[in-house]
Amino acid sequence: MAGEAAPTGTAGDPPTGTDPKATATPPATPPAEESEGAGSHRKVLAELADERKARQKLADEIAELKAKHQSAEEKAIEAARKEGRSEVLAEVNGRVVKSEIRAAAAGKVSDPEDAVTLLGDLARFIVKDEVDTNAISKAIDELVKAKPYLAPATGAPKAKPLPGGGATPSSGVSINDAIRRQAGRG
């Protein structure tokens, strides 16, 4: 046994005593490292979109299989859950859309609440249960173009803040200033 040679494999096997992984071809570079150009980014985005579609298809198949094996009571419970989720999601998304409109309208419209009212059907800003902030911004820009009187007045003097960080009066005079004037000290 001491003088015996190690058995050799068949013609396609790596020589014994070497790591088969070490003789394998090196892994291909990831698509993101191929080049810095826009083409590689588009390729990666396309691959991600394909993977999302495949995952969604598998999730749909799993849901279908579960539905086949559910009892009538389980199906009724699942339907009630879906209905409850959709009602809550619709209410929450409505609130989120209004908040997003107010935020996007700040500075573009003198009263952001007007934008909420004038944009009409807010459900159009919800796409696949997500709020489309780009569509909201575009709609506000179009609203201001169509109704320029909604834009805040430019050049209007701003009231000075009250001493001590208080509210801003419309006249720019604090109550302390008014008292001093009445007393003849100011």
Residue 125 contacts residue 132 (beta carbons within 8 Å): yes
Q: How far apart are CA 132 and CA 108, in angstroms?
A: 18
Residue 148 contacts residue 109 (beta carbons within 8 Å): no
On whether residue 54 sits in a domain, the answer given is no
Task: Tell me how many domains the chain contains.
Answer: 1
Per-residue pLDDT in tens (0 to 9) along the chain, 186 residues: 455 554 554 555 555 555 544 455 555 555 444 445 667 888 999 999 999 999 999 999 998 888 888 888 888 898 899 999 989 988 898 899 999 999 999 888 888 888 888 888 888 998 888 888 899 999 999 999 998 888 887 755 565 665 666 555 555 667 777 788 888 865
On whether residue 114 sits in a domain, the answer given is yes
On whether residue 126 sits in a domain, the answer given is yes
On whether residue 47 sits in a domain, the answer given is no
Task: Retrieve residue 47's tokens.
Answer: 């691959």
Nearest to 122 by CA among 82, 89, 90, 86: 90
On whether residue 75 sits in a domain, the answer given is no
Nearest to 144 by CA among 170, 114, 168, 169: 114
Q: How far apart are CA 57 and CA 130, in angstroms?
A: 20
Q: How far apart are CA 139 and CA 113, in angstroms?
A: 14
Global pTM reads: 0.45
Q: Which domain holds residue 126?
A: 90-153
On whether residue 96 sits in a domain, the answer given is yes
Task: Please count the other Cβ atoms lying within 10 Å of the Cβ belonging to residue 94.
Answer: 15
On whether residue 139 sits in a domain, the answer given is yes
On whether residue 107 sits in a domain, the answer given is yes
Q: Where are the alpha helices (DSSP H) in 112-174?
A: 112-118, 133-146
